[in-house]
A and B are shown apart, each in its own frame.
Chain A
Amino acid sequence: MTRGVAVQLTDLRRTYSGVNALDGLTLHLEPGELVALLGPSGCGKTTALRCLAGLEDPDSGRVEVGGKDLTKVSTNKRDMGMVFQAYSLFPHLTARQNVEFGLQLRKQGSEQRRRRSAEMLELVGLSAHVDKYAHQMSGGQQQRVALARALAIEPQVLLLDEPLSALDAKVRTQLRDEIRRIQLEVGTTTLFVTHDQEEALAIADRVGVMRSGKLLQLAAPQELYSRPADDFVADFVGLTNRVVGTSRGTTAEALGASLPLLPGSATEGTVTVLIRPEHLTVTQDAQGSAVVISSSFLGAQGRVVVSPGEDLQQVLVQVPSAAVADFAPGDRVTLRPVGAPALAVARG
Chain B
Amino acid sequence: MADTARRGALAGRRPSGALLGVVPFFVYVTVFLIVPTLVVVVGAFIATGPGGQGALSLANIRALAQPAVTSALWHSLILSAVTAVAGAVIGALLAYAVSTAKPDGVLRRFTTSLCGVLAQFGGVALAFAFLATFGATGYLTNVLASTGLDDTGGLWLYEWNKGLMLVYLYFQIPLMLIVFLPAVEGLRPQWREAAETLGGSTWLYWRKVAAPILFPSFVGALLLLFTNAFSAYATAAALVSQGSPLLPLAIGGTLNSEVILGQENVGKAMALLMVVVVAAVMTLYAAIDRRASRWLAR
Contact = CB atoms under 8 A, between A and B. Distances in A.
B190 A105 contact: no
Interface string A53-83: 1110000000000000000001111111110
A76 B295 contact: no
B217 to A, nearest CB: 12
B282 to A, nearest CB: 23
Contacts of B73: none
Contacts of A135: 294-295, 297
Given A90-B213, A92-B213, A105-B204, A81 B295 contact: no
A80 B190 CA distance: 15
Interface string B192-211: 01111111110010001100
A153 B194 contact: no
Contact of B209 (A79, A90, A150, A159): A90
A88 B196 contact: no
A84 B215 CA distance: 25
A86 B193 CA distance: 12
A82 B198 CA distance: 8
Nearest to B194: A88
A164 B212 CA distance: 28
A87 B197 contact: no
A75 B190 contact: no
Nearest to A78: B197
A87 B190 contact: yes
Contacts of A125: none
A54 B193 CA distance: 10
A101 interface: yes
A106 interface: yes
A106 B197 contact: no
A75 B196 contact: yes
Interface string A25-66: 000000000000000000000000000011100000000000
Interface in B247-298: 294-297
A91 to B, nearest CB: 4
B184 to A, nearest CB: 15
B191 interface: yes
A313 B204 CA distance: 60
B198 A92 contact: no
A76 B194 contact: no
B195 to A, nearest CB: 8
Contact of B197 (A53, A85, A86, A92): A53
Consensus secondary structure, chain B interface: helix
Given A76-B199, A105-B199, A106-B199, A90 B194 contact: yes
Q: Give the interface size bracket for B toward A.
A: 20 to 34
A114 to B, nearest CB: 17
Interface in A203-260: none
B190 A88 contact: yes
A102 interface: yes
Contacts of B191: 88, 90
Contacts of A82: 193-194, 197
Contacts of B188: 87-88
A294 B204 CA distance: 60
Given A91-B294, A92-B295, A135-B295, A80 B197 contact: yes
A75 B188 CA distance: 17
Nearest to A50: B193
B295 A105 contact: no
Contacts of A54: 196
A84 B193 contact: yes
Interface in B26-73: none
Nearest to B201: A76
B127 to A, nearest CB: 42
A79 B191 CA distance: 17
Contacts of A101: 195, 198, 208
B98 to A, nearest CB: 23
A102 B193 contact: no
Contacts of A74: 196
Contacts of B295: 91-92, 135
Nearest to B204: A105
Contact of A76 (B190, B197, B209): B197
A89 to B, nearest CB: 8
A149 interface: yes
Nearest to B291: A92
Contacts of B198: 76, 81, 101-102, 105, 149-150, 153
16 contacts: A54-B196, A76-B200, A76-B201, A80-B197, A81-B197, A81-B198, A82-B197, A87-B190, A88-B194, A90-B195, A91-B296, A92-B212, A105-B200, A105-B204, A149-B198, A150-B197
Closest 7 CB pairs of A and B: A102-B198, A88-B190, A91-B295, A75-B196, A82-B197, A105-B199, A84-B190
Given A76-B196, A84-B190, A90-B191, 4 more contacts: A75-B193, A81-B197, A87-B190, A105-B200
